[in-house]
Structures are given as C-alpha cells and as structure tokens.
Amino acid sequence: MILGIATFDDIIELFVVFAVVTIIPTLGSVNISADLFDVVRLGIFGGIVALLLVILKKFRATTSAHEPHRTSILALIFGVFFVFISFGLHSSLDIAVIGAIAAGVLVRAVLPAARTPIIGQHVQAITYSFFAPIFFFDVGFETNSKYLLSHIFLVLLFIIAAKIAKVAASYFVGSKVLGTKKSIFMGVALGVRFSTSIVILKLLHDANLVPIELYSLLIGTSVIFKFFVPLLLSFLAKRWKPAIAS
C-alpha cells in the first residue's frame, strides 16, 4: 500500500504541476522541441530492453541461489553492455541515466531471488552515502535562488498545487483501507521524502526541455515544504490522535 501511494502521488503531482504551468502564460510558453529520430530510437531501445527483460527472466529460472548458471551470467554481461552502448551511441540526448536504469532492471531480473535483498542493501548504502549527496548538490547548484526570491507568489502556488496532489493521491489509494484521516496524514508525511520527480526534472532540465525558471520553482517548492512537514504532522497528530492511533 505504501509503495503504491508513494508511486501514485508522484504521477499525480507531475500532472498537477503540468496543469499549473499551462495556466501561467510566462511558464506555459516553453518551447519543447524533440528530434523525431531520437524519439523513434528511444522507442526501439525500449522494446529491446523489454525483450531482454523477458529473456533474462527465463534465464533466472535456471539460476540457483548460490551458484548462478554460466549462461545467465553471460546473458547478464552482454545485456548490460548492449543496453549502455545502445543508449549512448550516436544520440543527441544525454540519456546515460536512462541506460543505467535499464541496466539495473536487467540486472535485477537475472539475479537470484535469495541474493536480491542483500545486493540491494549494498547498492543503497553506496548510493545514499556517496552518489546522492553529489546529485543533490548538483541540483541545488543549478537552482536560480534569485528567481525564487523574486517570485514568492509562484513558489507558494506551486507548493499548494504539488502538496494537494500528494494528499489527493494518498486519499484515493488508501482511504478505503486506512480511512480518511489516516490517508490524509500519510499524504502529508510523503512530503518528507524527496520524490523521484526530482530525478525526472533534472533529466528534462539537462536536456534543455525545462527552462531554468520552472526548474528552480519545482526544486525550490520541494525543498521549502520539507521545513513545514514536521509542524503540520505534529498538528495533525494532536488533532486526529484517536483516529491515527486506532
């Protein structure tokens, strides 16, 4: 349930933010141009990744928990190599991250089920301790703080739109199981974490599909709201204590 809400709220948040952008003329007039050849190539590579995923899942059936089959390891090596090369060669788009995600999906498909949690813990330890600080430093470094200070109203508008989307997603997914108050409380609590939409936004900005003004607004609202979440959660916990504790 928590995973479903955490994923669903990001989807709704992106749609709501897009709707807000289209309403505001200064931000809605973004010229988004895409090379048709790159789009077609991405579609082809996506199909290839899906095909490799199906093949590697079949190989996984022959893989034991302690002694992986040599054929599976060979398929894994060639699969990862092929994905990175295919996504990286002769492309005008900076899609190395997409290649890494696709390679991660392929690796997960072929790894023994018994080893997946252990390997996942090691990967998360390296990612959160080393790569995540570098990523967020880069995100913050590219943010235009002067634009945020001069457009406080837009910042507040984006905060309200994005957080209402999170609460709405939590309500739609969990209200029947958790109840109205618990689902709203969980929707507010989701504001503590940095959503995966930041990664998507960073990719779009690096590809020059999102202007620096919109990029700064979305990043700024995501960071600013983090300071208000503990206060809001404390208020709701005191007000709805019987319903939340039950």
Q: When comparing pLDDT for 43 and 156, which is higher?
A: 156
How far is 116 from 110, CA to CA, in rounded Å? 10
Among 21-30, 83-92, 175-184, 231-240, the range scoring the smallest mean pLDDT is 21-30
Quick one: average pLDDT of 76-84? 61
Neighbouring residues of 236: CB distance < 8 A, sequence distance ≥ 6: 184, 185, 188, 244
Q: When comparing pLDDT for 149 and 56, which is higher?
A: 149
Assign 28 a pLDDT band (cuts: 50, 70, 90).
very low
Q: When comparing pLDDT for 29 and 129, which is higher?
A: 129
Model pTM? 0.56
Assign 19 a pLDDT band (cuts: 50, 70, 90).
low
Domain range holding 238? 2-245
Neighbouring residues of 202: CB distance < 8 A, sequence distance ≥ 6: 135, 138, 139
pLDDT digits (tens, 9 = 90+) for 196-217: 677 777 877 877 777 888 888 8
Number of folded domains that form the chain: 1
